[in-house]
Each structure stands twice: as C-alpha cells, then as structure tokens.
Amino acid sequence: MVLLLLPFSTVRAKEERSLIGDETSFFTLPSTHDRAINYVSEYYGKHHLVMTFFPAAFTPV
C-alpha cells in the first residue's frame, strides 16, 4: 500500500500558502461537457477559475 503511494509521497500536500503567486499548470482534460477542456482556450485571459478537487463522485464533497 505504501509502495503504491510512493509516486505521490514525494509530492506532499503543498502548503496552501506556498502556491499563491505561482502560475497554474496549463491542462487539457476530458470533461462531462462532451469535449476536452483546455485551460488556455477556455479560461486564460478571460475568466477567473475556481477548481474544486474531490475524491470521488457520489461521495460528499
């Protein structure tokens, strides 16, 4: 179980404060809107983006 978590263990939860001011990773990801969503074309230069990460669908967020 520990071995499986190894790839993530080197990236411990970054302190909330240390990320502020950094540039976000640009991403393209499949979405529930039947299209891949690309950060640059949809949001960059246009809208602020709120991203909520959650463990799994059908669980409380």
Partner 1 sequence: MEGHQRNLYLYDRFNARVVGVSVDDVTTLKYWAKSLDLTFPLLSNVTGFLGESLGVAPSGEIKGYPVFGRRTVIVDRNGIIRYVRDGSPDFKDILLFLKKLNQEGGRP
Summarize as ranges the residues that interact with partner 1 (CB under 8 A).
1, 4-5, 7-8, 11-27, 29-33, 37, 39, 42-58, 60-61
CB 39 within 8 A of CB 26: yes
Place of tokens 């969503």: 37
CB 54 within 8 A of CB 61: yes
- Taking the complex as a whole, how short is the minimal distance between the CB of residue 35 and partner 1, in angstroms? 9
- Taking the complex as a whole, how short is the minimal distance between the CB of residue 1 and partner 1, in angstroms? 7
- Taking the complex as a whole, how short is the minimal distance between the CB of residue 45 and partner 1, in angstroms? 6
- The tokens describing 16, both together, are 């909330």
